[in-house]
Structure 1
Amino acid sequence: MRTWLITGCSRGLGRALAEAVIDAGDRLVATARSVAALDDLVDRGGDNILALPLDVTDPAAAGNVVDAARERFGRLDLLVNNAGYGNVAPIEDTSIDDFRAQIETNLFGTIFMSKAAIPHFRAQGSGHFIQFSSIGGRAGATGRAPYSAAKFGVEGFSEVLAIEMAPFGVHVTIVEPGGFRTDFAGLSTQIVAGNPAYAETVGRTAEMQRAYDGKQPGSPEKAAQAILTLADASQPPIRLVLGSDAYARAEQIDEARLAELRAWRALSTSTDF
């Protein structure tokens, strides 16, 4: 029986994963800004669940929930950094406060939670960080500059974390979901087309997001089962895309980048002594 700590369990992929963990018979520390939103999970999980309020932008709170997990269940096996959100607006129309807020939650929240768990995973010689990024963390998502900036940061941070934790038997996996039928494109997102000058870029994204809500190809329940399969892997990947749309986009991005890299090889290598 493993012990999971999942951030952002009130809805979306975090909620689907929390339910799957409970149904699998594992122990769960479920967190959300409002612990009342987790009451039904507590009823469902009984003694195997601990529900705690958590603001991931508070480093002291991050340390407290990790300590509470170990105090209640004796150990921590998997930390899932899932909490996050992303608004839609042109960079020009996005305030610095909005940039900071999104980066605080999506990037620093992951950093704070990871740092809180590192000493415990290192000491026990095992553990698995599952870091939710996005396909928008592999390629910039139009209209979501703060979100993509944060998710690119999550990916860089997690690559370094994987190198540093490998000698201790601790794994790190970056998860890159595509579109799933959660409220990420609905209530969780502020969508602003902004300046008409961006009608062909951000404006199109805003229209697509409104039309896309409820029609995304991904099933949250199937995503949760994929994460359970990932948790069972003895040698999990450093990256896992989720969804056929994310897979197609990742393949397209990586092939285009490789082609561009090779096309500019002569100039790139011309700078050596």
Structure 2
Amino acid sequence: MTNSDLIHDETAGIERLLEIMRRLRDPDGGCPWDIEQNFASIAPYTIEEAYEVADAIEREAWDELQGELGDLLFQSVFHAQMAEEAGHFSFQDVVATMSNKMVSRHPHVFGAESREKSAEQQVADWEAIKATERAAKSETGTLDGVAVGLPALLRAYKLQKRAARVGFDWPSTTDVLEKIAEESAELVEARETLTQTEVEEEFGDLMFVMANLGRHLGVEPESALRAANAKFTKRFQGVEKKLSTLGKTPSDSDLAEMDTLWDQVKIEERINPKTP
């Protein structure tokens, strides 16, 4: 089979996608846009595609998930192709590394260890293996390896989780709530007396503690905020629909009217929670 045949063979699987990517990056006859890209320029698209996967799952849009997962896979293929061109590694190296990692981190599945463990013990074992891997890469600090490029709220959660493993944590949820009250008061004071930069610092402190509260409550803050965004979007769209029946848009309304309609939308949600 020629490379051209491979590109048009719908049954060829991952090899077809890899060949398509090679052709797109080919200096002779490839796509000018794809040829010009580099790791830094593609990284934002990779992050965006990951969020679109999460969005499809959040909405239970299973008919869209296949395409979104394909878009995310293509990002991995794109990065691997650029890496191979630069002599760093190939897509097959990526696959081998991931496979080796999963086998290493699951000795209770692929090795001699017993599967008779609680979920909590398996998590502890997983973290111990990861710590060993970090040490092998000279990442000996408690916070080493927490990716700087993560969304800030998620990174705050992971930093606090890592620090808690070595005992740097509030003993109870009550202590966190007291800290939130303290940070809130400081933010109010900052608003009245400090510069905008100092206000932003106090606001950041408050958000950081809120992320820690989520950890103490067993709530992943990034996921909770995505759900809150979805809920707000759905309710505000409900307000817009009600205004539309009155021949209005939000610009034609006022806060009092929209707030009343908002309450109506919330009541309707309780009566019929499955309404799309």
TM-score, length-scaled by structure 2? 0.25
Q: Rg bigger for which structure?
A: 2
- Structure with the larger RCO, 1 or 2 (CA within 8 Å, 6+ apart): 1
Give 1 or 2: higher strand fraction.
1
Give 1 or 2: higher helix fraction.
2
